[in-house]
Structure 1
Amino acid sequence: MSTVDQKEIDAITTWRNFWWDENGPVRPLHEYNPLRLQFIKDELINNGLKIQNPDLPLENIRIVDIGCGGGIFTETLARGGARVTGIDASEDLINVAKDHIKLNRNISEKVHYIHTTVEDFARKESENSTYDAVVASEVLEHVSDPQLFLKECVKMLKPGKSIFVTTINRTLISWLSTIIAAEYIFKAIPRGIHSWNKFITPHEVECILKDYGCETRSVRGAKLNPMKIKWSWSSTLSTFYLLHAIKQKETSM
């Protein structure tokens, strides 16, 4: 069994030459970074993280960034002080990430990239994992089997550690705003990159994580203005959302 949807990987890999163009097709991911980082920082603080250095709030936190692509969020986590392992099933995008981190010597020692799948990585890491958090940001809606994907993510965590998921809800509003408006009308997101039937509700994610011994602690909504390509927090979970859960116990997997 595999979580890899090769069609999705091939489609996303076509952006490899534009990954670090902040005004290019992946601009929404660059713009999403402040909200994603804030959510992770705030939730880790709520779970007992003591910040010693405000400039490096994630100092010495060990994170694995699943589906890291060309490293946009991986580098942001590292600039926040974290030690990050970024993995992706696209070899081309991992090469993009490796090339770009060489340009950032101040954080390059904090980042390690691996071309692999989540299931292969979990198989090697689950026994002796020391990760404080697993991050799966804007990837769950692109995998072939979200339940298996989340199961493999949880395997990498010891009880008391965190999993962060950011993805898209499956609602009429998300179809209208994310696909019709953002992809086809305003062209803020590359056309055809999302399939509405692969979106997943917060309740579904919570139930899957609960089956694998995790308790959801927080879910926050976010929204993208497709005209300005700007993100903000939302009072609803109707489109984009960020979820934090903590592993409570080991379960038979």
Structure 2
Amino acid sequence: MNEFVNADPAELAKFSELAHRWWDPDSEFRPLHQINPLRLEWINQLSPLEGQKALDVGCGGGILSDSMARKGAEVTGIDLASKALRVARLHALEAQTPRVQYREISVEELAQESPGSFDTVTCMEMLEHVPDPQSVVTACAHLVKPGGWVFFSTINRNAKAFALAIVGAEYLLKMLPQGTHEYAKFIRPSELAGACRNAGLDVLQVRGMQYNPLTGRYWLSGDTSVNYMFAARRLST
């Protein structure tokens, strides 16, 4: 076991309290259900999942893990929130999801245990919740095979992101519980790009994700001012 677990107990408790609501599409996790098809298709276009070994870091209740398995990948979902993992396992049993398993283990510990084991690694909506994002990025890079893909999603740190992701989403529209995000933990694309370079990852595509509260529609764009995603590959040398 690592001496340092890169997790905030308050963050784990926050999501554990909501664990039973992960698979309710009208719950606090509704935005994740709504954006999942968009990000799944983007991942699958760049790194076709059929027949791959995929790792979902910070999998929570398994929304992305489950959908990647249904695309034909052999998926491992990892998280440190015990209650969320129990929900993920229960859903996999009830939905008879093939080729998915869940483990309560940190990404750093798994990187020591199984380096270079996965064709695709995803880490979505997690980096803004951990004390040391660089540690997570480095561990993801160690876990993917040379030439394999690593996908990250997080939130930019600027006035617009504060207004939309915190004030708008949590307080005005009540799309998320108040306190879900801390502005100081948001990550600028330049900072994430630097973390990827330090870890030996080559960032090949950056996409923004936008939302229209009037229509309830999400779409991918080139606007990374609030929510954004990185697609990077591990350098083969």
Whether 2:55 is the aligned partner of 1:64: answer yes
* Count, aligned residues: 234
Give 1:119's aligned residue. 108
1:185-233 residue CA offsets vs partner (Å, 9 max, x unmatched): 0101111100011011111111111112111000001013345543112
Whether 2:27 is the aligned partner of 1:24: answer yes
Q: Call closer, same or farther: CA 1:190–1:225 in 2, change over 3 Å.
A: farther
Superposition map of 1:170-249 within 5 A: 170-226=157-213, 229-249=216-236
Unaligned runs of 5+ in 2: none
- Inter-partner Cα distance in structure 2 for 1:196 and 1:229: 24
Q: Report the TM-score when normalising by structure 1.
A: 0.89
- Inter-partner Cα distance in structure 1 for 2:209 and 2:35: 9
Whether 2:25 is the aligned partner of 1:38: answer no
Structure 1 residue 234: Cα displacement: 2.9
Superposition map of 1:74-153 within 5 A: 74-105=65-96, 107-108=97-98, 110-126=99-115, 129-153=116-140
- Inter-partner Cα distance in structure 1 for 2:57 and 2:222: 27
1:175 alignment partner, SS class: helix
Whether 2:12 is the aligned partner of 1:9: answer yes
- Check the 8 A contact 1:91/1:115 in 2, yes or no: yes
- Inter-partner Cα distance in structure 1 for 2:217 and 2:142: 34
Sequence identity of aligned pairs in percent?
35
- Inter-partner Cα distance in structure 1 for 2:168 and 2:221: 17
Unaligned runs of 5+ in 1: 50-57
Q: Alignment RMSD, CA only?
A: 1.4
Q: Call closer, same or farther: CA 1:2–1:228 in 2, change over 3 Å.
A: farther
- Inter-partner Cα distance in structure 1 for 2:211 and 2:112: 36
- Check the 8 A contact 1:85/1:111 in 2, yes or no: yes
1:241 alignment partner, SS class: strand
Structure 1 residue 18: Cα displacement: 0.8
- Inter-partner Cα distance in structure 1 for 2:105 and 2:213: 32
1:58-77 residue CA offsets vs partner (Å, 9 max, x unmatched): 21011100000011111111
